[in-house]
Amino acid sequence: MSAQPKPAPVASEPPRRFSTISDMEIQECYTAADLAGRDPAADIGRPGEFPYTRGVYPTMHRGRPWTMRQFAGFGTPRDTNERFKFLLAQGQTGLSTAFDMPTLMGYDADHERSLGEVGREGTAVSTIEDMADLFDGIALADVTTSMTVNCSASIILAMYFAIAERRGIPMSALGGTIQNDMLKEFIAQKEWISPPVPSVRVIVDMIEFCTTHAPRFHPVSISGYHIREAGSTAVQEVAFTLADGLGYVEAAVARGLAVDDFAPRLSFFFNLHNDFLEEIAKLRAARRLWARLMRDRFGAKSPRSLMLRTHAQTAGCSLTAQQPVNNVVRVAIQALAGVLGGVQSLHTNSMDETLALPSENAAMVALRTQQIIAEESGVTNTVDPLGGSWAIEALTNRIEAEAEDYIQQIDRMGGIVRAIELGFPQKEIAEAAYHFQQQFDRREKVMVGVNRYQTNDKPTIDILRIHAEVESTQVARVRAFKAARDQARVASRLADVRQACRDGTNLMPLLIAAVKDGVTLGEVCDVYRDEFGIYRDPAWL
Partner 1 sequence: MTGSPRLRVLVAKPGLDGHDRGAKIIARALRDAGVEVIYTGLHQTPEMIAEAAIQEDVDAIGLSILSGAHNTLFPAIMRLMREKGGDEIAIFGGGIIPEEDIATLKQAGVREIFTPGATTDEIVEWVRTNIHPRG
**91-99, 189-197, 289-297, 389-397 -> range binding partner 1 (CB under 8 A):** 189-197
Nearest to 393, CA basis, from 61, 21, 45, 50: 45
Subset of residues 256 to 295 that bind partner 1, contact rule: CB under 8 A = none
Query: Residue 185 interacts with partner 1 (CB under 8 A)?
Result: yes
The correct pick among 30, 90, 169, 190 for binding partner 1 (CB under 8 A) is 190
The correct pick among 215, 440, 444, 446 for binding partner 1 (CB under 8 A) is 440
In whole angstroms, what is the distance from residue 507 CA to residue 496 CA? Answer: 9
Q: How far is the CB of 162 from partner 1 (least distance, A)?
A: 25
Sign of the dihedral defined by the CA atoms of residues 512, 513, 517, 520, in that order: negative
Query: Residue 448 interacts with partner 1 (CB under 8 A)?
Result: no
Radius of gyration of the chain (CA): 23
Query: Residue 355 interacts with partner 1 (CB under 8 A)?
Result: yes
DSSP state of 448: B
Query: Residue 463 interacts with partner 1 (CB under 8 A)?
Result: yes
The DSSP code sequence of 310-372 is EEEEE-GGG--SSSTTHHHHHHHHHHHHHHHTT-SEEE---TTTTTSSPPHHHHHHHHHHHHH
**110-118, 158-166, 361-369, 370-378 -> range binding partner 1 (CB under 8 A):** 110-118
Query: Residue 461 interacts with partner 1 (CB under 8 A)?
Result: no
Q: How far is the CB of 298 from partner 1 (least distance, A)?
A: 31
Q: How far is the CB of 120 from partner 1 (least distance, A)?
A: 4
Q: How far is the CB of 458 from partner 1 (least distance, A)?
A: 6
Cβ–Cβ < 8 Å for 470, 119: yes
Q: How far is the CB of 357 from partner 1 (least distance, A)?
A: 8
In whole angstroms, what is the distance from residue 491 CA to residue 501 CA? Answer: 15
**87-95, 296-304, 317-325, 492-500 -> range binding partner 1 (CB under 8 A):** 317-325
Cβ–Cβ < 8 Å for 203, 417: no
Query: Residue 121 interacts with partner 1 (CB under 8 A)?
Result: yes
Cβ–Cβ < 8 Å for 420, 187: yes
Cβ–Cβ < 8 Å for 495, 100: no
Query: Residue 314 interacts with partner 1 (CB under 8 A)?
Result: no
196-213 vs 507-516: helix crossing angle, rounded to 10 = 80
Query: Residue 126 interacts with partner 1 (CB under 8 A)?
Result: no
Nearest to 434, CA basis, from 278, 291, 230: 230
Q: How far is the CB of 432 from partner 1 (least distance, A)?
A: 10
Query: Residue 437 interacts with partner 1 (CB under 8 A)?
Result: yes
Query: Residue 487 interacts with partner 1 (CB under 8 A)?
Result: no
Under 8 Å CB-to-CB from 355, ≥6 apart: which residues? Answer: 321, 324, 459, 461, 463
Residues that bind partner 1 (CB under 8 A): 101-102, 104-105, 107, 113-117, 120-121, 185, 188-191, 229-231, 317, 320-322, 354-356, 430, 433-434, 437-438, 440-441, 447, 450-451, 458-459, 463, 466, 536-539, 541
